[in-house]
Structure 1
Amino acid sequence: MSRVALLLALACAAAIAGWTFHQSAEDRKTDDSPGTATSAPQSSTETPSPTPAPAPVHVDYTEGPASPDGIGKFFHGREISQVMGHPAIGWLERGEREQEEAPSKAIAAIDLKPGDVIADIGAGSGYYSFRISPKIPQGKVVAVDIQPEMLNFLKEKSAELGISNVQPHLGKIDDLMLPEASLDAALMVDAYHEFSHPREMLASLHKALKPGGRIFLLEFRGEDPRVPIKPLHKMTEAQARLELESAGFEFVSNLRPLPWQHFMIFRRP
């Protein structure tokens, strides 16, 4: 082959190789590079399917020997504790409560709109009810309790404090006795573990909450041996989630702002 022919052959080969490399790079850009017209994800007008709500599960109660602080009735393996009655109002209203439990932090974390209706279930002396009421000046706190003595105390204190948006309400051991979809939120402070009929109460609460309504559940931390509360009057997060999720509620979060208690938030789907 002459030198001229050899040079022409090499030039053609280089041109072909360069064209091939260019095509390969373009192919890679089309397949892999973000921001190109062909690789950009196509927008969709379809609404993502929501996560299916947990379906309520019927769980039977079981019975066994009662512990010193229990009633011998079990729900999801947890023994239900004895009820702290109205003679304990002094303990609920004790001056050390802020230092020990920091309820002001809990109340600050309860996010409500001015016109919301919230049920304080197991309201007792109304310690939380009266402190929440200023957050909802156009709404109300339905202070639910099964003990008339507690409700009488609430009525007297409402008059003493001049608070008109705390409504004492007599419930039953297995029913809140509240209208369907009447609540924006519910609060249970160290009370749920004492419910003698938690399955029925959770079903009643599910009915009374509006869709999207929240539950603020405060319980002394059962995982923490440093919390100086009797074991049956404490709950673990895992146990609380088991019971409420089985009743059809969604777990949202555990804020953990308090020295002794869980601050768990659940939602009705």
Structure 2
Amino acid sequence: MQIGNIIQLLSGGLAMGAIYVLVALGLYITHLTTHRVNFGQGDFLMVGTFLMLFIRKAGLPLLVAIAMTLIVLAIMGWLLERIAIRPLDRKKSTPVGAFSWILTTAGIALILQNVIELGFGKTSQYSSPLFSSRRDQVVQVLGAGLFVEEILVIIAAVVIVIIFYAFMFHSRWGKNIQAVAFNPESAKLLGVHTDRVKTGVFIIAAILAAVAGVLIGPLVTINPHMGLVLTIKALIVAAIGGFANPVGILVGGILFGVFESLSNYIDSGFGDLYPLLAALIIIAVKPSGLFSERHADVR
């Protein structure tokens, strides 16, 4: 394999790995705070891609399209917590009620899939580039032709992850989230508005899905049923990295994305299978993830 091919594969793998990381961080922050995840997180991303497609076809500027997509997904995140998560807290003492959020979030995911399918049809569609003039625009790096979109998606995702990390560990809101994650009752005694924090993390998760949707649109063909696969892969990335470790999630996403790219190059027919098998082996050997916390979770 030539060096140019290796660089191209790494670029594509890092770009998709960055998308998985953004989706996985949304799963991480909701699980950390509420011990629940949105099984429709990938479908929120899917909605973001189609919103961008619709708004840009309407002729609105790129920045306006991005802003509108972020706002709509933030509202969806707020609604999800209010109608699919919070009402279940009253039933969490029952065996069914404790896990009924799985059904409600998955149900909303199915609703989103069908609504988008009714509006845009079942066929795959193409989203216009964000940063370049055409989809196949490349730049030469060490003899390899790299897509401009892939390079800028990687850069944008890294910046977002850095901002997310700073928010979680160096901001007042981040400290409130950690306090609620550790003990909601104690946090409430300290003056933290726990319900507001729980709503906020679902809004943040939805915004992360929106950002991932904006970035992934020019990289792949989009369709109403793409969200399920992305949710599964994001869950795997979070599990590989350790569900309580955002840095581990970043590393897990990079490893998964690069391995996926290489395996598809070696065997295009079963390329998606090998990363999943490798992930299952890792999780079976180390269920807490490669970068799990060294101390026990005392929440």
TM-score by length of 2: 0.20
Instruction: Kindly indicate which of the two structures has a greater share of residues assigned to helix.
Output: 2
Structure of higher CA gyration radius: 1
Instruction: Report which structure shows greater RCO (CA 8 Å, sep ≥6).
Output: 2
- Give the TM-score normalised by structure 1: 0.21
Identify, as 1 or 2, the structure richer in strand: 1
